[in-house]
Structure 1
Amino acid sequence: MLEVVCFGDSITARNEGYPTPILTYKLSLKMKDYKFINAGVSGNTTEQAMQRFNKDVLARCPDIVTILFGANDSSLHKFVELESFKQNINEFTKKIGPLKTILITPAPVDESLQPNRSNERLQQYAQAVKEVSGETGSHFIDFFHVLYSEPNYRELLIGEKDDGLHFGEAGYEILTSLIAQKLQEIHIDKKIPKSAE
């Protein structure tokens, strides 16, 4: 069974009414041949995540790692400079190995509910993630633009908190479908070994 570590902030860690974090819960239902491990910590920037990276990710020797940060790095109250953010994502990717890494751009926000975050700035952080993927040859999911291009994207951002940042069921359905599709593509490309029967 292939192990996938989902590494991130509250978007990765949130339960949203489920018994365990909704991201890995839904992924486990969609992909029975994989074991999903949640390594999300609410409030984390990439700087903070760097301090737990070895223990929470590398020590587990996973087959694949999803990396989803940016919501906190780009915020006014936890700000991590764009260049530092990009370097951190790059370092995570190189240590895991690009072929085992799926980089995911941060989601847009409802700016009317999020005074500390703007979609203009989140788009810059999403672009930085895309650049790291291009430079390293890692796998990539442009979650920001998939969600932002939906005419009702603000409705998709409504979750238990209804704060314009922590989305609920609809947003996670889109995100987990994108991850599941990417994992299938990776398998078909035979870039990771199939698990031994």
Structure 2
Amino acid sequence: MKKTILFGDSIFNGFRNHQNTNLVTNLFQNFLGNNIQVINLSKSGATTVEGLDYLKQLDSSSNLVVIEYGTNDASSGWGVSLKNYSSNLQTLIDYIGPQKCIIVGPFPPDPNNFEINQFYQNIANFNQVAKHIAKQNHIPFIDMISAFSSLSDISSYYQADGQHLTDKGNQLLVKTIAPTILSKLKD
């Protein structure tokens, strides 16, 4: 059985009603099937700084690690610079090994929610950094900003906080990422 680790923040934690859930883990498991074990080591509120702190939790026998940090790094409330974000992502990749990585770009907030958007004015730049790091390391990159930008009724994919996802949003998240996981595990 192949092991895939989800390694990110509250988006991968299926954050709902002020707590973490297994929603996203279960959706990935259902999509990927019984031959792939999905292990979720994501932490709500985490940035790449915490990701570095949690590296020792990664099982070295895993086949794949899906790195999903950047949304909190891009928040004006956390204060991680683009330079540090880039350096931290590269350190994560170096530790895990590029052949075992997929990078998911920062997750965009609901564009119709001014309250949350005021904290993410720089998210496109963080997305570009993640994309560049992925390309530089020959790692698949999943651009969540692009995946969500053309949706009609986009607010229906987000909870009222404008940041975390509804069931519909979580399903799109998994359907966007899971094919790349399956493809990478075949290599």
TM-score by length of 1: 0.85
Q: By how many angstroms is 1:97 displaced? A: 1.4
RMSD: 2.0
- Across the two proteins, how many residue pairs are aligned to each other? 183
C-alpha contact 2:107 2:145 (8 A) present in aligned 1: yes
Task: State the partner residue of 1:73.
Answer: 73
TM-score by length of 2: 0.89
Does residue 1:29 correspond to 2:37, yes or no?
no
Secondary structure of 1:166's counterpart equals coil
Instruction: Give the counterpart letter for 1:12 in structure 2.
Output: F
Whole-angstrom CA distance in 2 between matches of 1:74 and 1:128 = 11
Percent identity between the two aligned chains: 25
1:180 corresponds to: 178
**2:101 equivalent in structure 1:** 101
Aligned-residue offset at 1:179: 2.0
Per the alignment, residue 124 of structure 2 pairs with 123
Deviation per residue, 1:59-85 (Å, 9 max, x gap): 443100001111211111111001110
User: Which segments of 5 or more consecutive residues in structure 1 lack a partner in the other structure?
Assistant: 192-197
User: Deviations along 1:33-61, whole A, 9 cap, x unmatched?
Assistant: 1100111111111112211112x22x443
C-alpha separation in 2, matches of 1:29 and 1:174: 14
Match of 1:171 among 144, 154, 169: 169
Runs of 4+ in 1 over 6 A off after TM superposition: none
Contact 1:104–1:141, Cα closer than 8 Å, also in 2:
yes
Q: Which moved more, 1:36-45 or 1:13-22?
A: 13-22
Does the 8 Å contact 1:46/1:88 carry over to 2? yes
In the TM superposition, residue 130 of structure 1 has moved relative to its aligned partner by 0.4
2: distance between equivalents of 1:81 and 1:20?
A: 29
SS at match of 1:12: coil
Q: Deviations over 1:159-197 (max 9, x none)?
A: 2xx10011121111111112221122224xx42xxxxxx
Structure 1 residues 77-109: Cα deviation after superposition (integer angstroms, max 9, x where no partner):
111001110111111112211121010012211
Residue 77 of structure 1 aligns with an amino acid whose one-letter code is G
Could you list the runs of 5+ residues in structure 2 that have no partner in the other structure? none
Structure 2 match to 1:48: 50
Higher relative contact order structure (alpha carbons within 8 Å, sequence separation ≥ 6): 2
- Does the 8 Å CA contact 1:13/1:42 hold for their aligned counterparts? yes
